[in-house]
């Protein structure tokens, strides 16, 4: 995909850079941001952030409130000026070619910041004009159809429901056909049906070549959708890896065994394991897969003369990793 641009403003170097399809949709090296706080102090919002977002995937950017996610996104979008460091969007330096870099990214903000007296069609047409999209190349009707707002195209935006307004924000971010789409908490406050519809649309965009960056507080969504995830806390990237590998950092599993008969105490042969007698028929083992195999536990249970009626296992999920890392648990680092 190539961001729209006006013919008078194009130059050959920028065209070559965009057409080459960079390996990284977003790259940041040493990005710092310090704000002047009320009362004369300083707030260090971002602390030497290094981050690479590969082209073509769905990338999750997670972190608690105030961690620096929105600040980082706003720097990429040209809404906030960084204090130091370098950043590129679609291979375009945001300082050297700010206009081209902004044309390569579409941002769906958290806030429902829409003009109450504009219709969706008018809003998309104005937005397309901001990006220099020629009238003959605008896709207003197509985009409204894709986000399910074709029948509301002439209505005032103030008459739209919260979910419709959220979809309209997505539509606004797509008018200039950006190769990178950032969704900042897009499903906050929306119902389950709309959330599922939005994610289906995001997957479709991604399959058609758009790189998607997602921030969300719904960790199960990030785990299901994202290929890679970075976790940011107190202005620093504390983890960045493939989603599955990140979850596996918490190498803790739980094996629950239900016995065929009740027992009053744990057999001595099971004492070397981290096990507790949850009730008269249930043994709960907690172990690390790098140190213990399930087979060893089952062999020990059998050797103790206990018969198994049922068993189940539990593994860590992204929420466990998130909480462990943001609380400073070194076992997940």
Q: How far apart are CA 295 and CA 293, in angstroms?
A: 5
What does the chain come to in residues? Answer: 333
Q: What is the mean pLDDT of the chain?
A: 86
**At 62, which CATH number?**
3.40.50.300
Q: Extract the tokens encoding 12.
A: 């050959």
Please tell me what DSSP assigns to residue 31: E
Q: Is the pLDDT of residue 81 over 60?
A: yes
pLDDT band at 328; cut points 50, 70, 90: low
Q: What is the pLDDT of residues 109-139, one digit of tens each?
A: 888 778 888 999 999 999 999 999 999 999 9
Specify whether the CB–CB gap between 3 and 177 falls below 8 A.
Answer: yes
pLDDT band at 71; cut points 50, 70, 90: very high
326 domain residue, yes or no: no
pLDDT for res 8 = 43
Q: Are residues 259 and 280 in the same domain?
A: yes
Q: Find the domain containing 273 and state its range.
A: 251-315
Q: Are residues 82 and 167 in the same domain?
A: yes
Q: Which of 50-59, 234-243, 288-297 has maximum average pLDDT?
A: 50-59
Find the range with the poorest average confidence among 21-25, 275-279, 287-291: 287-291
Specify whether the CB–CB gap between 325 and 332 falls below 8 A.
Answer: yes
Q: Are residues 11 and 66 in the same domain?
A: yes
The last residue of one of the domains, among 231, 247, 263, is 247
SS3 95: coil
Q: What is the pLDDT of residues 2-46, one digit of tens each?
A: 454 544 444 454 454 445 689 999 999 999 999 887 777 888 999
Q: Are residues 117 and 160 in the same domain?
A: yes
The number of domains in the chain is 2
Q: Are residues 273 and 130 in the same domain?
A: no
Specify whether the CB–CB gap between 25 and 180 falls below 8 A.
Answer: yes
List of residues 6+ apart from 217 with CB closer than 8 A = 185, 188
> How much of the chain exceeds pLDDT 90, in percent?
53
Q: Are residues 174 and 230 in the same domain?
A: yes
Q: Are residues 239 and 262 in the same domain?
A: no
């Amino acid at each position: 995909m190539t961001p729209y641009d006006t013919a008078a403003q194009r130059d050959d170097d920028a065209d070559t850079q965009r057409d080459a399809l960079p390996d990284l949709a977003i790259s940041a090296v040493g990005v710092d941001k310090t704000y002047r706080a009320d009362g004369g102090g300083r707030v260090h919002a971002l602390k030497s952030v290094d981050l690479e977002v590969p082209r073509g995937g769905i990338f999750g950017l997670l972190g608690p409130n105030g961690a620096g996610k929105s600040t980082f996104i706003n720097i990429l979008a040209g809404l906030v000026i960084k204090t130091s460091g370098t950043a590129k969007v679609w291979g375009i330096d945001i300082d050297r070619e700010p206009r081209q870099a902004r044309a390569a990214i579409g941002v769906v903000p958290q806030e429902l910041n829409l003009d109450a007296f504009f219709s969706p069609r008018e809003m998309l047409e104005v937005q397309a004009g901001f990006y220099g999209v020629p009238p003959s190349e605008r896709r207003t009707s197509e985009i409204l159809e894709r986000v399910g707002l074709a029948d509301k195209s002439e209505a005032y935006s103030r008459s739209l429901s919260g979910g419709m307004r959220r979809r309209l924000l997505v539509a606004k971010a797509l008018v200039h056909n950006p190769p990178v789409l950032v969704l900042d908490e897009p499903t906050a406050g929306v119902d389950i049906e709309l959330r599922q519809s939005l994610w289906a649309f995001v997957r479709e965009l991604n399959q058609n070549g758009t790189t998607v960056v997602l921030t969300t507080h719904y960790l199960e969504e990030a785990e299901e959708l994202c290929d890679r995830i970075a976790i940011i806390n107190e202005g620093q990237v504390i983890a960045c890896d493939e989603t599955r590998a990140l979850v596996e950092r918490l190498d803790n599993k739980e094996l629950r065994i239900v016995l065929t008969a009740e027992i009053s105490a744990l057999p001595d042969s099971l004492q070397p394991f981290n096990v507790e007698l949850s009730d008269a028929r249930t043994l709960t083992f907690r172990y690390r897969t790098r140190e213990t195999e399930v087979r060893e536990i089952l062999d020990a249970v059998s050797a103790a003369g206990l018969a198994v009626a049922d068993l189940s296992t539990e593994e860590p999920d992204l929420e466990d990793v998130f909480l462990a890392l943001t609380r400073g648990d070194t076992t997940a680092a």
